[in-house]
Copies of this chain bind each other. A is one copy, B any other.
């Protein structure tokens, strides 16, 4: 049985707490947060504290705090024996100021109230020394079927990729959502297309899967599209993305 103290009260902390609660190999002893209001959701289920001085002893301290707080919070845990890990995609492991340290990065987007199947989420681990690595592997496997050893350098790239495949497509969905609303078109008409876009890249590379006016350099259609966008920033986004696609397939045309 691995004992854990969770530091943080945001989305990642909530989802991790929920996932650990289901595992019989992990015991969350305590949740720490600066804000007593934010701790209330945890209180019926686990001991909580707003005081660094009162943080309990545990095998592992998991920092689910903002990127900029990782170093500061880790310093307050210097006296502890347990391993200190953070959960961030973009912070290097050595931002943690403890000898026993590591990273436990679940590669997923977490939204409040939206439950996700943790067993399918890739957990990217990195550790100082073999012993900590084994500990993190145990922790990872207790909640997920997919645990990967990923270095700080790789994780930095993965985090960039996460923005490219999550935040940016979502923003393009938003642009389409607005256009549909303005033209009285139900947005859900686009769902089968959105799903098929994702399904295709299970067995084709995105490069092979591409279709559309930019790939075939259909200038008339692209100009029609740009003229339909009202926001100059969105026009530029359309233009640059189509340019980038054109450049990729130029040799084939």
Contact = CB atoms under 8 A, between A and B. Distances in A.
A119 to B, nearest CB: 10
A201 B183 CA distance: 19
Contact of A189 (B122, B191, B197, B207): B122
A241 B122 contact: no
A46 interface: no
A174 B210 contact: yes
A198 interface: yes
Contacts of A116: 196
What is the interface of chain A mostly: helix, strand, loop, or mixed? helix
Interface string A125-151: 000000000000000000000101010
B206 A158 contact: no
Given A90-B224, A109-B211, A206-B171, A165 B185 contact: no
Interface stretch (A29-37, A72-80, A212-220): A212-220
A168 to B, nearest CB: 5
A195 B198 contact: yes
B166 A211 contact: yes
Contacts of A207: 174, 177
Contact of A234 (B171, B183, B244): B244
Interface in A205-253: 205-207, 209-215, 218, 220-221, 224-225, 228-229, 231, 233-234, 236-238, 240-241, 243-245, 247-248
Interface of A: 67-68, 90, 107-111, 114, 116, 120-122, 124, 146, 148, 150, 153-154, 156-177, 179-180, 182-186, 189-198, 200-207, 209-215, 218, 220-221, 224-225, 228-229, 231, 233-234, 236-238, 240-241, 243-245, 247-248
18 contacts: A110-B211, A114-B200, A120-B192, A153-B183, A154-B183, A154-B184, A161-B179, A161-B190, A164-B172, A164-B173, A164-B176, A166-B197, A169-B169, A169-B194, A170-B201, A170-B209, A177-B206, A191-B202
